[in-house]
Structure 1
Amino acid sequence: MESNEVEIEDAPPGYKSYVWQYFGFLIKKDKDGNRVTDKTKTVCKLCHAVIPYTTSNTSNMNHHLQRHHKNVKTAPEKTSLPKGQLTMKQALTPTLPPSSPRAKQITRLIGEFIADYMAPFNMVENRKFIQMFNVLEPKFKMPCRGHFSEKVIPEIYNETKQSVKEYLKNADCVALTTDSWTSRATQSYITITAEVINEKWERKSFVLQTRELSESHTGGNIAHVLRNALSEWELTRPQTTTACVTDNASNMDIAVRESGLHPHIKCLAHVVNLASKRGLAVSRVARLLGRVRRITTFFHKSTTATAVLTNKQTQLELPRHKLITDVQTRWNSTYDMLARYLEQQAAVSAALSCPGIRRNAREIDTLDNTDISDVEDMVKLLKSLKTATTVVCDEKEPTVSLIMPLKFMIEQSMSPDENDTQTIANMKSAILLDISDRYSGDCNDMLQECTALDPRFRSLSHLNDEQRESVYARIREKPSALHEQRNQTSDIDERTTRASASTSGAAAEQARVMVEAAQGAEQSQE
């Protein structure tokens, strides 16, 4: 067919295939001479070749272009895939695109792993770590450490922070715990945690923040950190009761008071630690500890002496335990040192009596029978303190209801006894004097009420009848007072809403002032 005899009609706009850029339908004349479009034949606009066509089948036209017009750029037809399904090209691609859902999911999980285990960012550059992912998902390309430190972890932090803020916002009472500490690099930090009980009576704990505190650890500087934390985590709402638990340091006492947190509860483990150290500071006790400490240190530093001690333990059929040297800032390590020394006393004496060892231990002053008797009494006395510390530290979810029963137990064990030696009497007196003044005043009342609400201690056996009835009476009064307070708050909020809805401009401001005045009057009546 000659080119000048061919007439072509473009395909309708609804035909989306790329071939229609180069093809159209053939126009011919019927027997009456009228021009008619033949939808069964298409014409190539490049060479005017006529190609048979069936509805929705462009294969013949596509083959013609590939065979006779190789310079023409062809493109595959676009098809819609189900969500998450990859095209053939994507499936055969050597690496997952970073924007693909699977690559994002893997990267997110690696970030969560780093956050959960506080792993270093350079872990993602570790050869074995990358090799492991090459086996698990060969198409995944590990992002650089900067991607995790600058994008992934900050995103996880912001999401988690917002979730925790929403959780705290719905809590009526929040308990904060704060303490300062020093890293191995001698950098000082202060950490703040929060605990709440949700509507299902489940206890939730959150580490809110750890901030560097390079300034002097004065009460004012710590109070500044606490106030910033309260503002940042939106814990300054009037309806939220915020308690705070700290150690017994005076700067913490000042910081909590200046921050407006109430009640302020002192850590029982720290209370026991201070009382124990006061008892261990008695002159006779301190001298005994010094002598025991020199013996344990000698065996730690001498491999020969340690070998002899091990041999003596075997001969005497004693446990092959190493001697313990205490850390003077942790009183329970002193208890462990004394208990272990008593256990290995026979082996220690036998080892020190060996000629080769004795020449190198001339400054070691072994304990005589009187000293051993005093050490045994000291261990027996410190047993109750050790028990209290173990209960608090081993408890998965310790509560303040433990404080008063444990304090009473310690006070009972420290009561004077006519059979006590002078050394033990002095220790008891020092410990009792230190611990008796803890948790006094309003704090004592609150802790007694918490103890009464704990099913384990609700009988309040550590109190006399009058004290016990006083605690029960306060507990009975509080629900009705709390209910009345909430009703008044609800009435005031309702009046505020009605006043705001019925006034505008200056009238609204006047109504607000009137409601606040009514609220102040009701509070003063209470």
Structure 2
Amino acid sequence: MFFCRSQNPITYITYFAAYNGAVCVCSDVASAFLLTEHVRKSKINMSAVWKFYTVCDSDIKFASCNTCDGKIPRGGSTAKTFNTTNLIRHLKNNHLAEYGEFTRLAAQSEKKTPGAARAQLRQTTIANARPYERDSQKAKLITTKIMEFIGLDDQPFSVVEDTGFRRLLSHLEPRYLLPGRKYFMDVALPELHQTVYAHIERLLKEGLSSSVSFTTDIWSSDVSPVSLLSLTAHWIDSDFHLHKAVLHAQEFSGSHTAVALAATFEKMFETWHIPKDKVHVILRDNARNMVKGMTDAGLPSLGCMAHTLQLAIHEAVLSQRSISDIIAKGRRIVGHFRHSPLAYARLQSVQQQLGQPTKRLQQDVSTRWNSTYYMLVSLLEQKRALGVYAADHELPATFTTSQWELIENLTTLLQPFEELTKEISSSNASAADVIPAVMVLKRLLAKETAAGHGVKTTKDTLLEAVTRRFADIEEEPLYSLATLIDPRYKDRFYSEDLKTNTHRLLVGLMTQATQRSPKQRPEADSTGEPAEKVPRPGSLSSVFGEILGEESRHQVLTENATPSEMIIYLSEPTISRSASPLEYWKANKERFPGLASVARAYLSAPCTSVESERLFSAASNIVDEHRNRLMPEKAEMLLFIKKNLPTMLNK
């Protein structure tokens, strides 16, 4: 190994190109050869000149002449710019004898280089200067990485033709010839899509050993006449890891009738070779065409809990004229500050004078009830600041004292609903959460509290709306069995009349499931659960704890057909709500093999179609104003890659 003392960047890079096979950066072959010859001579010069100098210990930017002890600059301020030019010039001008010896040593060293080595060096340099062939392994790898960059980061295909991007690629790898946008659209995108498709197909085959759940939704673009119909799969593998994969986000043109929906869903499942008996449930919205389409296709489906909750809250809140007036005023106030930078600057100044953090008021979206809740909360937080602002400046609307009190009571009333919406929209929520959540909401709304003063009518309407819209959930086996098989809930949230029936349904499923030799151990499996945090009184969590803590008779079927593992499972205490049911079943699948088989199917179902809505949030970033002419099939490929490629990268 030769250690180069000169830190000239050209010398350093080309030396390694010539002797260790690294890339020689040159504009053409002739330059590469000349540069290699320069490096070879520089190497000779460097090996000879340092017999007359020593690097200064106090400052490496200088070299000490061994003849006159003079400090000679090394030709730069950093190690990357050092060279030997000044050192050679100093010998030539001041020490002729030493310079003569230096030239003699350099000439001798050059003669020692064999002709064959020079020829081989020349060939290596020429080869390293050639651009990569497009089908070479290195070029293919770089192209794939660029396509991944486009797919994961919502980049337009035109990025490969942008000057800055091309300059960056040229600097990082000069030998790579960057293809144009058409190549990435027509070749690189389908190739990457096929690779990811094959990966998801392998994963899904394992998921089909049990049942698979799905979510779906329809999205229409605001910038182009495109509608997409999504299908996202959810399943639990044998190690109780939850998997999610986007299978389709395909164009859905024409009228969105039930007949068209049914035909499209059947074609989707045929494409992935998913038999209908492996479809556990499909989570959808509550639109009539979607409900009828699922029925016509013979597919089991449930409404999205978040959508149902949205309908109940809108119905109850908007039924009160006083509340709708408050919301209308709030929108006018927020709109005033959003559309006037001067007004917002004045409000910000008032907030600082009052010692409050500078916050913007939040605008609501009429189709999202919780955004209206957040708007009212932000207005309530800025009550004092808005009062001071209104004293000196004009506002389009103001609240009276009674309206401020109503806002405070209303936000207190809706706070548990907001908390619940967050929980059921999380990636870990399942169909098992529906029955317990509705029971808790009913109990909260039935309680008489001081905060109910002024919104009692709204509170009663909310209770009636929740009761009516979720009236049939306990009779729905997909909900009741999911709750029973969840170790956080079991049958603690059931009415006594429904426990026996649900127990029988579970026994039937266990009988159908594949049985393994049960090595049951009656002792409970210690999993070291974290301690529950003490919930705030009157909160959603406190009522969950209240119900779980109530003493009730957990009677289990004692018929001969009742498996012993089910009796043991139901007789054990529930686990903490903050614990993971999948971790529980992973640890206890050997104790309860029949129950674990049921759990894989029933805990795979989410309780909302939020995953599909999140998919279309990504779709709005792909089909935007800059790419409003993107073909639907290209958009589907990009969505498929964006959502599914991370599962390959994290494996």
Same fold (TM over 0.5): yes
Residue pairs, 1:39-438, within 5 angstroms: 88=124, 91-170=127-206, 171=208, 172-186=210-224, 187-235=226-274, 237=275, 239-262=277-300, 264-282=301-319, 283-354=321-392, 357-358=393-394, 361=395, 363-364=396-397, 366-393=398-425, 395-415=426-446, 417=448, 424-436=455-467, 437-438=469-470
Identity, in percent, stands at 25
Q: CA deviation at 1:319?
A: 2.5
Larger Rg: 1
Are residues 116 and 299 of structure 1, via their aligned partners in 2, closer, same or farther at CA, if it must alter by over 3 Å?
closer
Q: Deviations over 1:7-59 (max 9, x none)?
A: xxxxxxxxxxxxxxxxxxxxxxxxxxxxxxxxxxxxxxxxxxxxxxxxxxxxx
Q: Secondary structure at the match of 2:282?
A: strand
Aligned to 2:630: none
Q: Deviations over 1:273-300 (max 9, x none)?
A: 2222112212221112112222222233
Q: CA deviation at 1:140?
A: 1.1
Q: Secondary structure at the match of 2:446?
A: coil
Aligned to 2:486: 454
Q: Which amino acid aligns with 2:472?
A: S
Q: Deviations over 1:234-253 (max 9, x none)?
A: 11x26523420111222211
TM superposition score normalised by structure 2: 0.56
Are residues 112 and 350 of structure 1, via their aligned partners in 2, closer, same or farther at CA, if it must alter by over 3 Å?
closer
Partner Cα separation in structure 1 for residue 421 and residue 403 of structure 2: 26
Q: Deviations over 1:77-99 (max 9, x none)?
A: xxxxxxxxxx8487334201112
Q: CA deviation at 1:162?
A: 3.5
Are residues 463 and 312 of structure 1, via their aligned partners in 2, closer, same or farther at CA, if it must alter by over 3 Å?
same
Does 1:478 find its partner at 2:509?
A: yes
Structure 1 residue ranges without an equivalent (≥5): 1-86, 485-526
Are residues 316 and 114 of structure 1, via their aligned partners in 2, closer, same or farther at CA, if it must alter by over 3 Å?
closer
Mean Cα deviation higher: 460-469 or 174-183: 460-469
Q: Secondary structure at the match of 1:176?
A: strand
Q: Which amino acid aligns with 1:193?
A: T
Work out whether residues 234 and 243 of structure 2, in 8 Å CA contact, stay in contact via their aligned partners in 1. Answer: yes
Work out whether residues 416 and 425 of structure 1, in 8 Å CA contact, stay in contact via their aligned partners in 2. Answer: no
Partner Cα separation in structure 2 for residue 288 and residue 124 of structure 1: 51
Higher strand share: 1
Q: CA deviation at 1:110?
A: 2.1
Structure 2 residue ranges without an equivalent (≥5): 1-122, 516-651
Q: CA deviation at 1:450?
A: 0.8
Q: CA deviation at 1:441?
A: 6.0
Partner Cα separation in structure 2 for residue 332 and residue 188 of structure 1: 26
Q: Secondary structure at the match of 1:92?
A: helix
Q: Which amino acid aligns with 1:127?
A: T
Q: CA deviation at 1:149?
A: 1.2
Partner Cα separation in structure 2 for residue 313 and residue 155 of structure 1: 55
Aligned to 2:114: none
Are residues 479 and 320 of structure 1, via their aligned partners in 2, closer, same or farther at CA, if it must alter by over 3 Å?
same
Q: Secondary structure at the match of 1:440?
A: coil
Q: Deviations over 1:199-246 (max 9, x none)?
A: 2222221111212223122222222221221111111x2652342011
Q: Secondary structure at the match of 2:455?
A: helix
Are residues 314 and 162 of structure 1, via their aligned partners in 2, closer, same or farther at CA, if it must alter by over 3 Å?
closer
Partner Cα separation in structure 2 for residue 312 and residue 89 of structure 1: 70
Are residues 243 and 89 of structure 1, via their aligned partners in 2, closer, same or farther at CA, if it must alter by over 3 Å?
farther
Partner Cα separation in structure 2 for residue 320 and residue 140 of structure 1: 50
Q: Secondary structure at the match of 1:276?
A: helix
Q: Deviations over 1:306-357 (max 9, x none)?
A: 3332232223222321222211111111111111111111111121121xx2
Aligned to 2:109: none
Partner Cα separation in structure 1 for residue 423 and residue 244 of structure 2: 20
Q: Secondary structure at the match of 2:130?
A: coil
Aligned to 2:632: none
Work out whether residues 216 and 231 of structure 2, in 8 Å CA contact, stay in contact via their aligned partners in 1. Answer: yes
Q: Secondary structure at the match of 1:286?
A: helix
Q: Which amino acid aligns with 2:462?
A: I
RMSD: 2.6
Q: CA deviation at 1:419?
A: 5.8
Are residues 400 and 89 of structure 1, via their aligned partners in 2, closer, same or farther at CA, if it must alter by over 3 Å?
same
Aligned to 1:498: none
Partner Cα separation in structure 2 for residue 405 and residue 239 of structure 1: 28
Partner Cα separation in structure 1 for residue 326 and residue 401 of structure 2: 12
Q: Which amino acid aligns with 2:322?
A: R
Work out whether residues 216 and 232 of structure 2, in 8 Å CA contact, stay in contact via their aligned partners in 1. Answer: yes
Kindly indicate whether structure 1 or structure 2 has the higher relative contact order, using CA contacts under 8 Å at least 6 residues apart.
Answer: 2
TM superposition score normalised by structure 1: 0.68
Are residues 139 and 307 of structure 1, via their aligned partners in 2, closer, same or farther at CA, if it must alter by over 3 Å?
closer
Are residues 139 and 463 of structure 1, via their aligned partners in 2, closer, same or farther at CA, if it must alter by over 3 Å?
same
Work out whether residues 413 and 451 of structure 2, in 8 Å CA contact, stay in contact via their aligned partners in 1. Answer: no
Work out whether residues 325 and 337 of structure 1, in 8 Å CA contact, stay in contact via their aligned partners in 2. Answer: yes
Partner Cα separation in structure 1 for residue 449 and residue 233 of structure 2: 47
